[in-house]
Structure 1
Amino acid sequence: MNNAGLETSIQNEIMALVDDRKSLMLSSLDEEGLPYASYAPFAFDERHLYVLISDIAVHGRNLRANPQASVLIIEDESSAAELFARVRVFYRVRASLLAPDSADWQTGIRVLQARHGQRIESLSQLSDFRLFRLQPEGGRYVKGFGKAYQIEGGSLAGESLQHLREGHKKRN
């Protein structure tokens, strides 16, 4: 397989992992710049992740105050062949708060509803729930020991991938 074919294959693996998971781990920054980890159910299109979060939730307030965050989508422990090398994708993201009367809101709600059902319809009607679009600004895909790839570009699968060849080294 040539490099372009290998890259396409890895990109397909990334998108399959994203499609397989229903929630993501979300690390946001509070007003003092301290990290806060949480999770949220999500949906996606080719370039963005969407999360519907209440103002009551700490990470919802954090994203409104500071749009820089990170996301982890990871293989379930129960199905992992190797606990220390679970398949995962990490993204640095910029969060955008979407206005309820915008076309972007409609797109986000539509993909969330397709993925999570009628619960989204009822939550999206509540005034404390906000829709955020998370735009990747690069990341990393790890599929095992020595199998890590830097994701370049602003899409979920990346515009390009770089195999990270610096691996683990034995102690002297």
Structure 2
Amino acid sequence: MNKDSLQTRVQEEVLTFINSRKSLQLATSGKNGEPYASYSPFAIGDDCLYVLLSEMAVHATNLQENSVASVLIIQDEDDAKELFARKRINYSITAELLSYDNENWTLGINTLAERHGDRINKLSQLSDFKLFKLTPTGGRYVKGFGKAYTLAGEGLTGSEVQHMTGGHTKRDAA
């Protein structure tokens, strides 16, 4: 398989996988660098991810203080053939807080509402809920042992896909 067809196939798989999930794991850090892991429902739009988070939640405060974070979208363990090799994608992201009076707010809320229903419209009317646009700056797609790919560049599928090689090796006997 040539490099261009591999890249196209992996990019299509990434989008199909992301579309099959409804929530993501979010790793943020606070002012003092304290890590915090959480989750949020998400939507896909404009080659990014949108999340609507309450300011009462630690992850929303953290993203306002530090826009660099990590996202994990992972296969349900009950659906995985191999627990140690669950299909997943991890992104390094930059978070942008979208203001309520911005046209991107409307785009993000509409995108979330299409995916998650009217609850989004109700939550978006509450002043403590903030809309974040999460733009991937790079990522890694893993679909099993020996099937891992680096996604270089911005966006959900990256501008370049590279198959990761040279991973696991057996230990020397003692």
- TM-score higher than 0.5 here? yes
Aligned CA RMSD, in angstroms, stands at 0.8
Q: Which amino acid aligns with 2:150?
A: Q
More divergent stretch after superposition (65-74 vs 42-51): 42-51
Q: For residues 59 and 94 of structure 1, what CA distance do their matches in structure 2 show?
A: 14
TM-score (norm 1): 0.98
- 1:68 matched residue in structure 2: 68
- 2:101 matched residue in structure 1: 101
- 1:89 matched residue in structure 2: 89
Kindly report which structure 2 residues correspond to 1:151-170, keeping only aligned pairs within 5 A, or say none: 151-170=151-170
Q: What is the DSSP-based 3-state SS (H/G/I as helix, E as strand, rest coil) of the residue aligned with 1:111?
A: helix
Kindly report which structure 2 residues correspond to 1:11-90, keeping only aligned pairs within 5 A, or say none: 11-90=11-90
Q: For residues 155 and 94 of structure 1, what CA distance do their matches in structure 2 show?
A: 11
- 1:171 matched residue in structure 2: 171
1:27, 1:69 within 8 Å by CA — same for their partners in 2?
Answer: yes
Q: Give runs of ≥4 in structure 1 deviating > 6 Å.
A: none
1:46, 1:156 within 8 Å by CA — same for their partners in 2?
Answer: no
Q: What is the DSSP-based 3-state SS (H/G/I as helix, E as strand, rest coil) of the residue aligned with 1:84?
A: helix
Sequence identity percentage: 53
More divergent stretch after superposition (83-92 vs 160-169): 160-169
1:69, 1:94 within 8 Å by CA — same for their partners in 2?
Answer: yes
- 1:129 matched residue in structure 2: 129
Q: For residues 46 and 18 of structure 1, what CA distance do their matches in structure 2 show?
A: 14
1:54, 1:129 within 8 Å by CA — same for their partners in 2?
Answer: yes
Q: For residues 69 and 90 of structure 1, what CA distance do their matches in structure 2 show?
A: 11
Q: For residues 46 and 64 of structure 1, what CA distance do their matches in structure 2 show?
A: 21
1:46–1:149 distance in 2 versus 1, CA, 3 Å: farther
Q: Which amino acid aligns with 1:87?
A: K
Task: After superposition, give the CA deviation of every residue in 1:83-139 in whole Å (9 maximum; x if it has no partner).
Answer: 000000000001000011111111100110000000000000000000000010001
Q: What is the DSSP-based 3-state SS (H/G/I as helix, E as strand, rest coil) of the residue aligned with 1:70?
A: strand
Q: Which amino acid aligns with 1:122?
A: K
Query: Displacement, 1:2?
Result: 2.3
